[in-house]
């Protein structure tokens, strides 16, 4: 009887604890045994620019051709492997991949020994006071200076910035007495590249691919109650990327402390099924790690709460999963699964058609009735279907993909991730009507997917730009065979609970498209890995060469085409060019794969420099840029008439027509949404791309309005190009084009009608190609269904007389991370923008803040981004400012010789 009462009492205590957990959501970083602590501050940094140390990951092949001025669709054919030398540390790094290698027989065993232990930088007593103090995220290369001329060690392809070399980061971490018995992890969201980590002089592990997030277990190497030394070595080779990769610890870094029994890394998976407005079934899988020395009986309780629009918990509990339990062996892992039905769920869907409602599942673990872990999993409830004829359906409604490709850099801020900078990019894209992002060509910062969840973007998440066949001499192909499974699994496992992610891409324009059955075998292997991690989403690789009758195309769940839908080099204007030549292939793929959805994962690759126009203007709807047509090799400008493209590309007009002729195509991802650092086709002496709809500084090119006219047909809008200030073109033909969501327009020059025109079928702009320039006012009145719709006016500006400042936000946090993006515009004395102005502008900040960077969107401008002086491009420039951990008011001032200065106030809170 006594034993029975004791057990009853224990059960009551345990049940009471569960009731407490179910009744109140506690702060997971407060009361929970799990602590996640940012260690972004207080690092010391040192870079070897020319010399290096001897602690190499592996040997690399010798480079004989450093030319990076190659057409982007050049066949991937690089190969170069060397035997691993005795001095290579790869054998100690590979075990970090084991959690993501499914077959235990293939797990890597850590060799004996302590490589690098005698190297001074890893030792606790090394004096690093002379090293540069930095806070993370940190991109060592973005401050420049730019490399100019040729040959240089880093050319235009990688952004002409000093990304190359070995660098070290050092920081001490202190363990509290309460950390005894805890498991301590180092979580690195991104390190570029070949990261190797020492703790107290012992090599812990690392991860070579610079875009993957990874975790290392520091527990065996730490000394409780003492300062513990972290030393991280990065090695960034030149000729390792087709674009600017950034450099350094460029994403967030964390210490995670847990009890021995805890939710494993990215260990939850939430699936939604039978979704409707009245109910949805939520399936939960929780993987639990038992790092203790004995078998543990673990109980799990999971509650679901509603999140608000900022992804903050509302405290409104909507469901509780049934309690689940499992016995987990010492040093092992186990999985607990449960399901629950939610009535009247608030569904996640893309903006603006639907609302991106979000929930959070809070999982609590108990061992012997004692709390052991608490883990948050944000998620959304939605139903996604890929229909091969009707396109993408979200929650039963068709959603046309109006997407863009985005590289990972943030312009003048480089690769160092900043939430506000990324949010600004997405806000401007949404203003254009964009509802989808393809992440080109690598896993993003985790916070970017938090933003796409919150803002309601559809996302194709991508992991590789190459496989075994490389595109540059030292890119990922050198380590693909060792790391492809771990990189692919960790990529999916990290991001699979984000509702914005609707599909996976496991390759972009890979060289294996050319190798027939051999390449298809690798594609199938990667496809199956991705689907093993997540069977709920389709997976594909983007094809710019593989044709419908090739085995490669059979290895994907949907057809992901780069440029092939509208055709590559198939129009008359492209006939003289060498390279891939493909007729429009939408019909052929649709006929061969009638059960697969088709989406254009890259379209257009149109080129332009904001506000610059080159004459004469092609009469074609699409033409390749050259030094004699659309391009100016002296200024390195490309005409903003938005008709000129890369050699393999097409204008927006041509792409629109191809998709409208083939309405079963689900939509497009334009190359690209924003200009990005590196790959400056067609002028590789420049620093950044020309392909963005929005320039590197965040200013809208004329093309922005062409896409807006198509993607937001309900918005009354009209846009005239070019500007109308041409003192050297009086009496010369200066074509006028109009972008409008209307269907008809009448153009007036100084009040005189130049004719009324109506869009024909498969026509997306209205052109008056014979207009003779006269100073004055150009005005367009547009119509829709016979009724006046929208107007636009451009006027001839006078001489530059004054500056104007305008901030995207005049009230920001003082935390050193929040930013204000301020546009300076050169005006005449009547307040008109001076579209040709290139005045040099000096920026000054007073108060508790500073200038972070300046820019103007000019791909050829090689002035370092931190400079407080910047020439305007087409009358505009940008200054980015931040606060420095003190409330107050910033005064930002812009000065230019001969012009009236301007100033504005930024409130820090």
Per the listing, tokens 């034993």 go with 3
Q: Is the pLDDT of residue 300 over 50?
A: yes
Give the integer Cα–Cα distance in Å for 94 and 103: 15
pLDDT of residue 237: 95
E strands, 522-643, in order:
539-542, 559-562, 598-604, 623-624, 631-632, 637-638
pLDDT of residue 82: 64
pLDDT tier for residue 73 given thresholds of 50, 70 and 90: confident
Query: Is residue 598 within 8 Å of 392, Cβ to Cβ?
Result: no
* Residue 356, token pair as written in the block: 């991106």
* Residue 835, token pair as written in the block: 């579209």
Give the integer Cα–Cα distance in Å for 720 and 794: 7
For residues 4-20, give the mean pLDDT. 38
187, 54, 482, 86: CA torsion to nearest 10:
-130
pLDDT of residue 83: 66
pLDDT of residue 178: 87
User: Tens digits of per-residue pLDDT, 89-145?
Assistant: 999 999 999 999 999 999 999 999 999 999 999 999 999 999 999 999 999 999 999
Give the integer Cα–Cα distance in Å for 544 and 441: 14
* Residue 521, token pair as written in the block: 């075998």
From the list 863, 819, 864, 826, the residue with the least C-alpha distance to 845 is 819
Q: Which of 78, 303, 462, 509 is catalytic?
A: 509
Q: Is the pLDDT of residue 9 over 80?
A: no
427, 433, 435, 440: CA torsion to nearest 10:
-70
For residues 762-788, give the mean pLDDT. 98
Q: What is the pTM of this model?
A: 0.95
pLDDT tier for residue 14 given thresholds of 50, 70 and 90: very low
* Residue 250, token pair as written in the block: 């460029």
Tell me 227's DSSP state: E
For residue 777, indicate whether it is catalytic.
no
pLDDT tier for residue 311 given thresholds of 50, 70 and 90: confident
Q: Is the pLDDT of residue 569 over 80?
A: yes
User: Tens digits of per-residue pLDDT, 731-746?
Assistant: 999 999 999 999 999 9
Q: Is the pLDDT of residue 49 over 80?
A: no
Distance of CA 685 to the CA centre of its chain: 25
For residues 777-797, give the mean pLDDT. 98
User: Tens digits of per-residue pLDDT, 246-291?
Assistant: 999 999 999 999 999 999 999 999 999 999 999 999 999 999 999 9
Give the integer Cα–Cα distance in Å for 221 and 391: 53
pLDDT of residue 86: 76
Q: Is the pLDDT of residue 582 over 70?
A: yes
For residue 602, indicate whether it is catalytic.
yes
* Mean per-residue pLDDT over the chain, rounded: 94
Contacts of 241 (CB under 8 A, 6+ apart): 157, 158, 472, 475, 678
If you count DSSP H runs as helices and E runs as strands, how many of each does the chain have, helices first? 9, 49
Query: Is residue 52 within 8 Å of 166, Cβ to Cβ?
Result: yes
Q: Is the pLDDT of residue 31 over 80?
A: no
pLDDT of residue 5: 34
Q: Which of 468, 602, 679, 744 is catalytic?
A: 602
- State the first-to-last Cα distance of the chain, in angstroms, to the nearest integer: 64
């Amino acid at each position: 009887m006594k034993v029975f009462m004791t057990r009853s009492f224990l059960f009551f205590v345990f049940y009471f604890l569960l009731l407490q957990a179910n009744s109140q959501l506690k702060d997971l970083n407060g009361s929970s045994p799990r602590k996640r602590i940012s260690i972004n501050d207080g690092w010391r940094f040192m870079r070897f620019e020319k010399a290096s140390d001897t602690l190499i990951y592996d040997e690399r092949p010798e480079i004989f051709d450093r030319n990076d001025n190659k057409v982007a669709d050049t066949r991937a054919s690089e190969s170069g492997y060397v035997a691993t030398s005795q001095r290579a540390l790869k054998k100690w790094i590979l075990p970090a991949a084991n959690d993501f290698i499914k077959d235990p027989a293939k797990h890597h065993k850590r060799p004996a020994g302590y490589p690098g232990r005698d190297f001074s930088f890893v030792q606790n007593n090394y004096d690093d006071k002379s090293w540069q103090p930095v806070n993370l995220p940190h991109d060592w290369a973005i401050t420049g200076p730019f490399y100019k001329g040729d040959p240089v060690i880093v050319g235009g392809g990688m952004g002409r910035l000093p990304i190359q070399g070995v660098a070290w980061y050092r920081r001490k971490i202190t363990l509290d007495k309460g950390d005894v018995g805890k498991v301590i992890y180092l979580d690195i969201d991104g390190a570029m590249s070949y990261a190797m980590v020492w703790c107290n002089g012992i090599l812990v592990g690392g991860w070579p691919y610079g875009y993957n997030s990874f975790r290392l277990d520091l527990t065996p190497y730490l000394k409780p109650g003492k300062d513990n030394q972290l030393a991280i070595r990065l090695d960034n080779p030149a000729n390792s990327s087709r674009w600017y990769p950034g450099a350094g610890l460029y994403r967030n870094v964390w210490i995670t402390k847990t009890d021995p029994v805890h939710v494993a890394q990215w260990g939850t998976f939430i699936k939604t099924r039978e979704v409707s407005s009245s109910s949805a079934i939520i399936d939960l899988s929780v993987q639990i790690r038992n790092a203790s020395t004995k078998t543990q009986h673990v109980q799990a309780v999971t509650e679901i709460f509603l999140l608000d629009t900022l992804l903050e918990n509302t405290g409104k509990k909507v469901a509780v999963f049934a309690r689940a339990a499992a016995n987990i062996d010492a040093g092992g892992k186990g999985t607990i699964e449960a399901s629950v039905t939610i009535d009247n769920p608030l569904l996640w869907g893309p903006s603006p058609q639907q609302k991106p409602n979000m929930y959070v599942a809070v999982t609590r673990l108990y061992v012997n009735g004692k709390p052991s872990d608490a883990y948050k999993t944000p998620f959304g409830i939605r139903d996604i279907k890929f229909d091969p004829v009707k396109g993408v359906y979200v929650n039963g409604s068709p959603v046309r993909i109006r997407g863009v490709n985005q590289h990972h850099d943030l312009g003048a801020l480089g690769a160092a991730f900043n939430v506000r900078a990324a949010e600004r990019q997405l806000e401007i894209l949404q203003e254009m009507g964009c509802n989808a992002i393809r992440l080109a060509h690598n896993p993003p910062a985790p916070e970017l997917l938090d933003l796409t969840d919150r803002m309601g973007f559809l996302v194709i998440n991508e992991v590789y730009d190459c496989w075994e066949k490389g595109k540059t001499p030292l890119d990922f192909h050198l380590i693909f065979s060792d790391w492809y499974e771990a990189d692919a699994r960790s990529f999916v496992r990290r991001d699979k609970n984000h509702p914005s992610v609707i599909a996976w891409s496991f390759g972009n324009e890979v060289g294996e498209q050319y190798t027939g059955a051999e390449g298809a075998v690798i594609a199938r292997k990667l496809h199956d890995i991705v689907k093993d991690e997540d069977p709920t989403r389709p997976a594909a690789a983007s094809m710019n060469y593989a044709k419908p009758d090739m085995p490669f195309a059979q290895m994907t769940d949907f057809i992901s085409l780069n440029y092939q839908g509208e055709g590559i080099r198939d129009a008359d204007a492209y006939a003289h060019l060498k390279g891939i030549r493909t007729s429009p292939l939408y019909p052929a793929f649709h006929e061969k794969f009638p059960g697969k959805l088709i989406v254009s994962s890259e379209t257009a690759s149109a080129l332009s420099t904001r506000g610059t126009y080159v004459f004469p203007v092609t009469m074609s709807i699409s033409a390749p840029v050259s030094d004699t047509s659309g391009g100016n090799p002296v200024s390195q400008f490309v005409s903003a008439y938005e008709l000129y493209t890369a050699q393999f590309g097409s204008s927006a007009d041509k792409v629109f027509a191809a998709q409208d002729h083939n309405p079963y195509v689900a939509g497009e991802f334009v190359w690209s949404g924003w200009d990005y650092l590196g790959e400056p086709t067609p002028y590789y002496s420049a620093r950044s791309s020309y392909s963005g709809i929005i320039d590197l500084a965040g200013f809208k090119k004329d093309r922005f309005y062409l896409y807006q006219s198509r993607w937001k047909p309900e918005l009354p809008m009209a846009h005239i190009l070019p500007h109308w200030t041409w003192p050297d073109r009086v009496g010369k033909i200066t074509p006028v084009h109009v972008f409008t969501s209307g269907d008809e327009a009448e153009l007036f020059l100084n009040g005189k009608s130049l004719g009324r025109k109506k869009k024909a079928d498969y026509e997306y702009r209205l052109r008056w190609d014979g207009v003779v320039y006269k100073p004055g006012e150009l005005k367009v009145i547009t119509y829709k269904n016979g009724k006046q719709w929208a107007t636009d006016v451009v006027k001839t500006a006078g001489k530059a007389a004054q500056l104007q400042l305008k901030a995207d936000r005049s009230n920001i946090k003082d935390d050193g991370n929040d930013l204000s993006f301020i546009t300076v515009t050169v005006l005449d004395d009547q307040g008109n923008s001076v579209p040709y102005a290139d005045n040099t502008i000096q920026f000054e900040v007073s108060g508790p803040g500073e200038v972070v960077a300046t820019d103007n969107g000019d791909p050829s401008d090689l002035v370092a981004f931190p400079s407080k002086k910047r020439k305007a491009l087409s009358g505009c420039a940008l200054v980015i400012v931040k606060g420095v951990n003190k409330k107050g008011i910033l005064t930002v001032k812009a000065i230019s010789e001969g012009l009236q200065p301007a100033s504005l106030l930024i409130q820090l809170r």
